Amino acid sequence: MKTKLLSDHVVESAEQYRQSFNSASPFRYVVIDDFFTSAAWERLVEEFPSHGSNIGLVGDYGAKNSIKGGKSDLPSFGPTYVDLDSHFQSAEFLDLISTISGVEEPLYDPTYNGAGIHENFAGNRNRLHIDYNYHPKFRWHRRLNLIVYITPDWKADFGGGLKLVENGFDPGEGTRKVVPCLGNRCVLFETTEHSWHGVESIVVPDKAADLTRKSITCYFYSQDRPIEEAVARHSTIYVPDRLLLDAQVGDTLTEADVRALRSYQRNVRKLIKSLYGEHGRLIARLDRLEQNNSKLRKRVARVEQPGAKMRTKVSHLRSKHKRSKPGS
Residue 23: what pLDDT? 97
Beta bridge partners of 220: 108, 144
pLDDT-based confidence at residue 222 (cuts at 50, 70, 90): very high
Domain that holds residue 263: 251-328
The residue ranking higher by pLDDT, 194 or 239, is 194
Do 171 and 308 lie in a common domain? no
Task: Compute the average pLDDT of residues 159-183.
Answer: 89
Do 27 and 75 lie in a common domain? yes
Q: Mean pLDDT lowest for which of 7-11, 98-102, 311-315?
A: 311-315
Q: Which of 242, 262, 295 is the last residue of a domain?
A: 242
Is residue 312, in this structure, part of any structural domain at all? yes
Residue 189: what pLDDT? 98
Residue 256: what pLDDT? 76
Do 62 and 102 lie in a common domain? yes
What is the rounded average pLDDT for all residues in the chain?
85
Count CA within 13 A, CB hemisphere, residue 74. 25
pLDDT, one tens digit per residue, over 34-93 is 999 999 999 999 999 876 554 444 443 333 344 555 555 677 788 999 999 999 999 999
pLDDT-based confidence at residue 242 (cuts at 50, 70, 90): low
Do 199 and 314 lie in a common domain? no
pLDDT, one tens digit per residue, over 252-306 is 888 877 877 787 777 778 778 877 887 888 888 888 989 989 888 888 877 766 6
Q: Which of 192, 216, 242 is the last residue of a domain?
A: 242
Do 167 and 312 lie in a common domain? no
Q: Which of 192, 215, 242 is the last residue of a domain?
A: 242
Do 256 and 219 lie in a common domain? no
Separation CA 102–CA 92 (nearest Å): 15
Separation CA 226–CA 208 (nearest Å): 45
Task: Compute the average pLDDT of residues 194-223.
Answer: 92
Residue 2: what pLDDT? 75
Do 85 and 227 lie in a common domain? yes
Is residue 2, in this structure, part of any structural domain at all? no
Is residue 191, in this structure, part of any structural domain at all? yes
User: Which of 127, 130, 176 lies closest to 25 in space, CA to CA?
Assistant: 176
Do 78 and 172 lie in a common domain? yes
pLDDT-based confidence at residue 243 (cuts at 50, 70, 90): low
Is residue 74, in this structure, part of any structural domain at all? yes
The residue ranking higher by pLDDT, 140 or 247, is 140
Is residue 305, in this structure, part of any structural domain at all? yes
Give the whole-number percent of the chain exceeding pLDDT 90.
Answer: 50
Helix (H) / strand (E) containing 88: helix 79-88
What global pTM score does this model have?
0.77
Is residue 3, in this structure, part of any structural domain at all? no
Do 206 and 323 lie in a common domain? no
CATH number of the domain enclosing 27? 2.60.120.620
pLDDT at 328 over 90: no
- Is residue 96 within 8 Å of residue 88, measured between CB atoms? no
Residue 142: strand, helix, or coil? strand
Do 224 and 263 lie in a common domain? no
What are the two backbone dihedrals, phi and then psi, of residue 205, each rounded to the nearest 5 degrees?
-70, 165
Give the whole-number percent of the chain exceeding pLDDT 70.
Answer: 83
C-alpha angle with apex 181: 179 to 184, nearest 5 degrees?
120
Residue 56: what pLDDT? 46
Is residue 219, in this structure, part of any structural domain at all? yes
Do 205 and 302 lie in a common domain? no
Is residue 78, in this structure, part of any structural domain at all? yes
Separation CA 147–CA 115 (nearest Å): 9
Instruction: Tell me how many domains the chain contains.
Output: 2
Beta bridge partners of 238: 129
Do 208 and 302 lie in a common domain? no
Residue 249: strand, helix, or coil? coil
Separation CA 131–CA 36 (nearest Å): 26
pLDDT, one tens digit per residue, over 82-137 is 999 999 999 999 999 999 999 999 999 999 998 988 988 888 888 899 999 999 99
